[in-house]
Amino acid sequence: MSKYINPYTDFGFKKLFGTEANKDLLIDFLNELVDEKHKITDLSFKNNENIGELSEDRKAIFDIYCETVSGEKIIIEMQKAKINFFKDRAVFYTTFPIKEQAEKGEWNFKLKPVYCIAILDFEFEKNIKNEDYKNIVTLKNQYCEEFYDKLKYIFIEMPRFKKNENELESHFEKWLYFLKNLIEFEDIPVVLKEAVFEKGFKIAEVAALNKDQHEAYEKSLLQYWDIKSAVDTAFDDGKIEGKIEEKYETAAIMISEGFDLETISRLTKLPIEKITKYQKDN
C-alpha cells in the first residue's frame, strides 16, 4: 500500500479537506479558485445532504458543502469517473444553495455568490480544442459580456494536468501536483515544502490512521477501484460483464455515484425494476 492515502477516494478527499481541524487546507485551496473579492478568511461546513421541499423532489449529496464568513456558498465535488449528464448534475446541485437563501416574508431576492467546484478524474470531452485543465463557466450574454457574477462553475480535469515538479508555475499548480501524485510520493518534494502541504502530507499518512480509519479507508479505496474499473470498462466496451451478484454490486456503486437507472441498466444488462428492488433490499 502507498505511504499516503488516495485523495480521489471519498475517505481521502474528506480527510484532507472535509474536517474542521483541516479546514485551513480547504481555505488555502479554495482561495486559489474564488474571485479576489471573495477571498476566504474562514468558513463553516454545512450539511452536505440537501433534500427538496417536497418529498418527491430529488435529493443531492455533495462531497463538501461550505459557507464562508461573508456568505458565499461553495460546493466541492470529487468525481471519480465519467457519468452521463454530469453538467446537468452540476447545475442541479447549485439550485440548492440558491433556493435555501430565500427568506420568508418580504425579500428583495438579493443572493450571495454560489460556486460549484468539481475535481474530475476524467476528461470532460476529449475532442475539444482547448487543452486547459481548468474550465471556468459563468453566465454571459450573446456578446460574451458578463450577465451575472454570482454563479460560477469550475471544472478541474486532472488527467489534463501533466506538469512535472520543475514546471509548476503557481501555488494552485502545486496543489494539483500534490493531489495528482500523492499516492506516488515516498518523501515530500522540495517544491512542496511549504507549511500547508507539509500538513497535508502529515494528515495523509496511512500509518497515522487508527484501526477504524484504516478500515474505512480500505473500504473507500476498494469502492474507488471498483467504480473506476466498472465505468472504464463500461464506456470502453459498452457493457459490463460478470456474475449476476457482481453486476448488482456494480449497479449499487453506480447509483451512489449518480448514474441514472437507464444508464445502469444498459451497461449492466439488468432490468431497472430489479436494480431498484436490490437497492431497497440492501
Mean pLDDT on 149-168:
95
Lowest mean pLDDT among 28-32, 87-91, 114-118, 255-259: 255-259
Cell of 124: 470532460
Mean pLDDT of the chain: 86
Q: Is 81 left (phi over 0), alpha (psi -120 to 50) or beta?
A: beta
pLDDT score of 151: 98
18-27: Cβ within 8 A, 24+ apart: 18/45, 18/63, 18/64, 20/45, 22/199, 22/203, 23/66, 24/196, 24/199, 25/196, 25/199, 25/200, 25/203, 26/64, 26/66, 26/76
Q: What is the CA radius of gyration of the chain?
A: 20
pLDDT digits (tens, 9 = 90+) for 42-67: 999 998 776 555 444 455 567 899 99
Q: Using CA atoms, how far apart are residues 252 and 278, in angstroms rounded to an integer?
A: 8
Whether residue 183 has pLDDT greater than 50: yes
Count H helices and E strands in the chain, helices first: 9, 8
Nearest to 111 by CA among 157, 79, 151: 151
DSSP state of 20: G
pLDDT tier for residue 251 given thresholds of 50, 70 and 90 = confident
Average pLDDT over residues 151-165: 95
Instruction: Give SS3 for 148.
Output: strand
Separation CA 82–CA 235 (nearest Å): 9
Single pTM value for the model: 0.80
d(C-alpha 275, C-alpha 241), whole Å: 16
Instruction: Please write the tens of the pLDDT for every residue from 24-44.
Output: 999 999 999 999 999 999 999
Domain range annotation of the chain: 10-208
